[in-house]
Structure 1
Amino acid sequence: MPHRRHPLALALHLGLSAAVLPCAVAAQTATGADASGEIAYLDTMVVTAQKREQQVSEVPIAISAYSGQFLQDYNVREFSDIGHLVPGLVVQEQSPNNPGFVIRGITSDSGEANVEPRVSVFQDGVSISKSRGSIVQPFDLERVEVLRGPQGTLFGRGAQIGAVHLIQNKAFNGTEAGFTVGAGNESSTLLTGYANTPLVEDKLYGRVAVYHEKRDGFVDNLSGGDLNGKDTQAIRASFRLDLRETDTLDLILNWQKDTPPGTAFRSGSIPTRTGSLDVLDRTADLNRGEALGLDRTVRGATLLGNFMLSSAWSLATITGWRDFDSAEEFDADGAQIYALEFAEIARGRQLSQELRFNYDGGGRFTGFAGASWFHENGSQRVPFRTDERSFITLPAVGLGIPPLLPDGTPNTMVDMLPIAPGVVVPLKPFHEEQYANFGETDAWEIFADGTFAATDRLNLTLGLRGTYEDVTAGYRADYFGVPSFLGLAGLGGSPDPTSPTNILFAPTDGRLSRSESFTSLVGRAVADYRFDDDHNGYVSVSRGRRPNVINVDAFSSEVIDDEVVWSYELGLKGAFAGAHLLYDLAVFHYDYSNFQTAVQDDDTLLFVPANGGNATANGAELSLLWRADRNLSAFFNYGYVDATFDDTDDDGNPQELAGNRFRLTSEHSASAGLDAGFELDNGARLYLRPSWNWRSQAYFEDDNTPGIEQAGYALYNLRAGVQFGDGRWDLSVYGSNLADKDYLIDAGNTGRLFGTPTFIQGTPRTYGVTLSGRF
């Protein structure tokens, strides 16, 4: 019980919205003078979203690309900060172990080993999508690409509704080094740096980058310690080998360790010892104190090869190995009672290989074709511990026993429970049980994607990807030999109800498993047209898929149908005012069938994947970037999405979630930023970079329960400083959430199953100072 979590003729429900081409461009703009002395502004970024280098303005996809320098300029240190910049993208981070990714209304946040994501996260072409290992520290990056819409043709089986691609800085034939040190409120400390150097002249080069950030938790835990902090250490080593002028090998080794304090799940119905029920007062009362928290290690090795086979053909290879181990202790009741004490121990191992042949003969046709193999083996084990005397006070148990005594301490006065006339059972002060799920996947894929220039202005693209999957899912629940009589009271599950064992998870005789194989086909068809040198547009139709899910529990097993989406999209990209103003507009319509959502299983009490029926999403995205000169630029992005469950299923039957909006989905979102510079007589340069982001109201659950939601809110941020020493030194101050806005990043969670929903606060005002140097 982890804490969580088609016809083209259909009229597109428009609205204006915004994707972030501009933000990336701002960081990559050329500011030097050309031969005439005129400053050249707003050169667009080169991206590889379509597996070849292209200007971002030429890519017929809704894509947002950000350079590593841009992320640094706007003090982007968290993965969730990227979500603040891209309309249509939300990155919800309860902890590094428990993120949620939302693109255009579709959430991908399951930590179960047998469930595939809807939104894929990639690191240099290698999928890192399993949620417990997908949050990595974004440091020393070349760029980030966020692709919205089904990307199965380009990125594989997990990219049903989008992909987030981190491209790390590689070693190169040159010498450079840099560092940043910083300090701020909540005792925060920052140290990051990099160094690049040739190891063998004109042959072998090496690069190393390190990252350290630590911050005390901003929630005071009245039971001891603090919560919602950060403690991350990471190191990356990369090597490049030039085999010949056109052939290279890149080896990238990553290691990251996260040991933050616990997450502040705050009960909305059980007060703290001070009597507070205000879930935003930045206190909590979680009884295990400093024993709460996360210990997670992520390791990875990637080998990239690029070889020219002829003047027209090249071969790209991507070999990836990755694993993660995490152990997180959390208090699901959100209060000082010892009732819902959970842990989550997750592991994942994967190995992948992709071979891709690229063709560009200088004619009208370009494209690629290839094959890939992916193997993954993972598990998620969830121990549960409770004091049964506190467990029976939970509202969902329905006995009406108050959880706290008048002095605010846990009520453990009831130690015997009548379950029938003349039958009384004892309650244990300590009970432990656990369940685990397992997933093993082997996937083989073949794919091809080609673009034909029908005219000098019109390009036609067709892509297909076929997949064969061999999947095994498993489940087990353990009984530790000391029975709980609460099972007899109907509060737990057991194949034999006369056998008192566990409270929540009916024990199994070892691991139960089921294996199945699946085949699928996804693809895209795109037409893009260049109206003139400054404006082009595209129309695309694509089919995305989320793989089938095999559910296994103590009583049965079932296969959940694969979730399929048909996407229809129109886009315009271009420039005005002599390329001083860039724009990017996209509108889309999604049709979902077999929408996979989470429902509570009556037998196990777990939230498990289920077929939620049909759903529809409509929306639009708009991005603007303006640059007056090298010292003044601005960006603005606005996003609109209307994503809801349909009224009826394919058979015309009413759907349980009919009309409900998708969870974690704001109907409107926007962001904006300004970069103003001021040249000083001594060669130094002052800069001021305010930014703003806003989201409208959002529900945290698909059932749209009132109160389990967040009203619209805005966050204001600022980075300002001075550059000196020919730009080699940078002294800055920063502030995030300057208005100190109180807001929630999640609500409901495991506690909701037992009648005590819990709430997680967003980060309050943070501020500090940094010093950077480059050599």
Structure 2
Amino acid sequence: MPHRRHPLVIALRAGLAAAALPAAAFAQDPASARGSEEAVRLDAMIVTAQKREQQVQEVPIAISAYSGGFLDDYDVRNVSDIGNLVPGLQVQEQSPNNPGFVIRGITSDSGEANVEPRVSVFQDGVSISKSRGSVVQPFDLERVEVLRGPQGTLFGRGAQIGAVHFIQNKAFDGSEAGFTLGAGNYSSSLAEAHANAPIVDDVLFGRIAVFHEKRDGFVENLSGGDLNGKDTNALRASFRLDLRDTDTLDLILNYQKDTPPGTAFRSGSIPTRAGSLDVLDRTADLNRGEDLGLDRTVRGATLLGNFMLDDAWSLATITGWRDFDSVEEFDADGAQIHALEFAEDSQGRQVSHEFRFNYDGGGRFTGFGGLSYFHESGTQSVPFSTDERSFITLPAVGLGVPPLLPDGTPNTLVDMLPIAPGVVLPLKPFHQESYANSGETDAWELFADGTFAVTERLNLTLGLRGTREDTTAGYRADFYGVPSFLGLAGLGGSPDPTAPTNILFAPTEGWLTRSETFESAVGRFVVDYAFADDLRGYASISRGRRPNVINVDAFGSEVIDEELVWSSEAGIKGAMAGGGLVYDLALFHYEYTNFQTSVRDDDTLLYVTANGGNATADGAEVALSWRASDSVGVFFNYGWIDARFDDTDDDGNAQELAGNRFRLTPEHSASAGLDLGWDIAAGTRLYLRPSWNWRSQVYFEDDNTDGIEQPGYALYNLRAGVTFGDGRWDLGVYGSNLADTDYLIDAGNTGRLFGTPTFIQGAPRLYGATLRGRF
């Protein structure tokens, strides 16, 4: 039987589930104060998910919004930390260059220049979605909005299953400054500061923010240096120009530099020189020692304009420019053998512009419409080198030669390969080759979205977006020096038997390209109803799309069909206890066609994007936020998802991945936290903020291979300290993964192609102290 289930069955099984946590600041309602058991009302956060300012509880979308203050309170200093807070969101960060964003079971982590992401990442309305440039340091933020479900109508191409939106603090008419200094284990250091001031009274204002964090790696590399550390420096300057009372221009300039040590890819089949096969023992044995690592630079400029045209109409413009350059050196075999020595050199450039006309005449109809243009070009180059004497010891080669000698050193004794009676090929001690892919896209979009108030309580929303994309994809593979003898034996293959021979990547004569034009449409229909002032329900149907993929290699090219999803969703948002308890509940059902997944290409030996057929996802989420009193606050999130490939395709044929769960997708996930405070003197307050997050078992690949997985685990975190000077000073301590739990954030990787899967360990117990000042 197919795996799909009717949405009504889902409702019976899952009940109601949550859409979001409105992480607003806690504020006391003076009229409700009652001594030590005072009732406290949660201020509603203002968000712009629907391109206009609304209270988060009024938005008929599964949205989680977290203020910059909340992120500071719980020591959220990495994008992956945000994933631990949001129901339905997972963020896997191998390095700042190689993240994976997972929303409701769908992973967006491809680094190929010709593949569009499923999850869009935005920074002040500008898409920064390309994987190698999407990780930005979350500092000096106004808020983060995470929207779950197809968001193409609101956010455009690529937001097929959700969007993560970072809204940075802008310059304003006022003076303020602040700093944070910190230190911790693994020689960690932290420095963050911001300052805001008028430049020209009542006309021009400026703000500057800086960030630095450095931490040694927590994995000892037995071949030299350490791995899995952090070294990030970021700078932001913003300016606001008030043209008149209603018109503003904001210019935001961003710069970020990441130079952390390398990622600890640890082989599960080749022991270290110490004889260990324990991939969680916080050691590795990777060649090139301290030469492993990342050098990434991200730059951006954004110009935001807001202009009132008359009492009902306004114009918003968003202009963005962005580029990134990154070079990452990594050892893909996860061992001391010189078999899979890789690097990745990625570059991306983009410019975009959006005009959006907003209408609100004070009547029953509100809406917006506009057009946008987006241009992007990029390349991903992958150099590869090997000692052919070590390469033949890889399990996938199938020769059965042990990779290590008894003393733990690489086995390079076999230097001849017999291929026929009396015929042997010598093996090269050093072989080098590379391949690269490229992508260039020009996209034009028209969009409109409107809400009609049928009654004071009932609203209907309809949105549409049309897209035209002119896309070019390219591929090249380069040959260096003497032909590979292994390649001559037929391992790499080539469309031209007379061409120079590589082991892995059949060489080409320069770039091979293919260009195509694609047109598409996505949309949404939403009904929301206010049952009471503090209770609102909604139901929606939406269509999402991931763009077509053009695959080009030395053997030819093909176009992978666009991935489509139909989403049905229902939810309830409400408040109780005088507004002190806020809850969001939702359930959803997705049906995918032409699900794009990664499969091994027998010609190139690479994993490439391919059509995985049909798939279905059912899920439920819940989020609660409660301020019991001025001294006690609680939040809780839970998500359940059953996301699998269907048993059969549209023609009734059995699918290769039938019944398999989506990769990086726990069936259950949850997080919770407390905010406890005690006034101990005038202007002085103690606080204690423990938090917890848990996720159930996950597979790291869509083929659900046993052993390429992580069992369920929980992490416990804490921030505690004292504020004084009426809150202007904060001296605190923090700890994450306090139980020092061993867990994996990824497994399989490039080594899996060659029979030696590699594993990446999550962070151990980290702790330290910080001093914050606000002026």
Band of TM-score, shorter chain: over 0.9
Match of 1:581 in 2: 581
Instruction: Write the deviation string for residues 120-149 of structure 1: whole angstroms up to 9, x where unpaired.
Output: 000000000000000000000000000000
Matched, 1:211 2:211: yes
Instruction: Write the deviation string for residues 707-743 of structure 1: whole angstroms up to 9, x where unpaired.
Output: 0000000000000000001110000000000000000
Query: 2-side partners of 1:20 and 1:44: how far apart?
Result: 15
Instruction: Write the deviation string for residues 483-503 of structure 1: whole angstroms up to 9, x where unpaired.
Output: 111112221122234655100
Query: 1-side partners of 2:23 and 2:6: how far apart?
Result: 31
Mapping of 1:583-602 within 5 angstroms? 583-602=583-602
Q: Is the 8 A contact 1:381 1:435 kept in 2?
A: yes
Structure 1 residue corresponding to 2:26, chosen from 23, 26, 29: 29
Amino-acid identity (%): 80
Range with greater deviation from structure 2 (517-526 or 486-495): 486-495
Matched, 1:708 2:705: no
The amino acid of 1:272's aligned partner reads T
Matched, 1:733 2:737: no
Deviation (angstroms), 1:41: 1.1
Match of 1:545 in 2: 545
Matched, 1:12 2:10: yes
Match of 1:232 in 2: 232
Query: 2-side partners of 1:456 and 1:382: how far apart?
Result: 58
Match of 1:496 in 2: 496
Instruction: Write the deviation string for residues 392-450 of structure 1: whole angstroms up to 9, x where unpaired.
Output: 00000000000000000000011111112221111111000000000000000000000
Match of 1:681 in 2: 681
Match of 1:47 in 2: 47
For structure 1, the 5+ residue unaligned runs are: 1-5
Q: 1:499 to 1:354 in 2, by over 3 A?
A: closer
Q: Is the 8 A contact 2:39 2:580 kept in 1?
A: no
Instruction: Write the deviation string for residues 238-288 of structure 1: whole angstroms up to 9, x where unpaired.
Output: 000000000000000000000000000000000000100000000000011
Query: 2-side partners of 1:468 and 1:352: how far apart?
Result: 15
Q: Is the 8 A contact 1:488 1:497 kept in 2?
A: no
The amino acid of 1:432's aligned partner reads Q
Deviation (angstroms), 1:22: 3.3
CA RMSD across the alignment: 1.4
Q: Is the 8 A contact 1:126 1:320 kept in 2?
A: yes
Deviation (angstroms), 1:481: 2.7
Deviation (angstroms), 1:549: 0.2
Q: Is the 8 A contact 1:266 1:335 kept in 2?
A: yes
Matched, 1:567 2:567: yes
Query: 1-side partners of 2:8 and 2:521: how far apart?
Result: 23
Query: 1-side partners of 2:31 and 2:131: how far apart?
Result: 47
Q: 1:18 to 1:65 in 2, by over 3 A?
A: farther
Instruction: Write the deviation string for residues 671-698 of structure 1: whole angstroms up to 9, x where unpaired.
Output: 0000000001243000000000000000
The amino acid of 1:661's aligned partner reads R
Mapping of 1:685-696 within 5 angstroms? 685-696=685-696
Instruction: Write the deviation string for residues 735-756 of structure 1: whole angstroms up to 9, x where unpaired.
Output: 0000000000000000000000
1:12 match: secondary structure? helix
Mapping of 1:234-383 within 5 angstroms? 234-383=234-383
Match of 1:409 in 2: 409
Query: 1-side partners of 2:460 and 2:6: how far apart?
Result: 17
Query: 1-side partners of 2:22 and 2:242: how far apart?
Result: 33
Match of 2:660 in 1: 660
The amino acid of 1:336's aligned partner reads Q
The amino acid of 1:382's aligned partner reads V
2:337 match: secondary structure? coil
The amino acid of 1:392's aligned partner reads I
Query: 1-side partners of 2:239 and 2:522: how far apart?
Result: 35
Q: Is the 8 A contact 1:29 1:44 kept in 2?
A: no
1:486 match: secondary structure? helix
1:30 match: secondary structure? strand
Mapping of 1:18-97 within 5 angstroms? 19=18, 21-22=20-21, 24-25=23-24, 28-31=25-28, 33-34=30-31, 40-97=40-97
Q: 1:428 to 1:401 in 2, by over 3 A?
A: same
Query: 1-side partners of 2:48 and 2:616: how far apart?
Result: 30
Q: Is the 8 A contact 1:17 1:638 kept in 2?
A: no
The amino acid of 2:147's aligned partner reads L
Deviation (angstroms), 1:598: 0.3
Query: 2-side partners of 1:530 and 1:35: how far apart?
Result: 24
1:72 match: secondary structure? helix
Q: Is the 8 A contact 1:18 1:670 kept in 2?
A: no
Q: 1:488 to 1:36 in 2, by over 3 A?
A: closer
Match of 1:523 in 2: 523
Match of 2:615 in 1: 615
Query: 2-side partners of 1:210 and 1:690: how far apart?
Result: 28
Query: 1-side partners of 2:157 and 2:121: how far apart?
Result: 12
1:50 match: secondary structure? coil
Match of 1:120 in 2: 120
Deviation (angstroms), 1:109: 0.4
Q: 1:352 to 1:8 in 2, by over 3 A?
A: farther
Q: 1:427 to 1:326 in 2, by over 3 A?
A: same
The amino acid of 1:12's aligned partner reads I
Q: Is the 8 A contact 1:19 1:86 kept in 2?
A: no
Q: Is the 8 A contact 1:197 1:207 kept in 2?
A: yes
Query: 1-side partners of 2:593 and 2:324: how far apart?
Result: 33
Match of 2:649 in 1: 649
Query: 1-side partners of 2:215 and 2:53: how far apart?
Result: 39
2:413 match: secondary structure? coil
Q: 1:313 to 1:609 in 2, by over 3 A?
A: same
TM-score normalised by structure 2 residue count: 0.98
Deviation (angstroms), 1:8: 8.1
Query: 2-side partners of 1:342 and 1:493: how far apart?
Result: 20
Query: 2-side partners of 1:9 and 1:667: how far apart?
Result: 18
1:578 match: secondary structure? helix
Match of 1:625 in 2: 625
The amino acid of 2:713's aligned partner reads Y
1:71 match: secondary structure? helix
Q: Is the 8 A contact 1:19 1:64 kept in 2?
A: no
Q: Is the 8 A contact 2:40 2:580 kept in 1?
A: no
Q: Is the 8 A contact 2:22 2:57 kept in 1?
A: no
Match of 1:435 in 2: 435
The amino acid of 2:51's aligned partner reads K
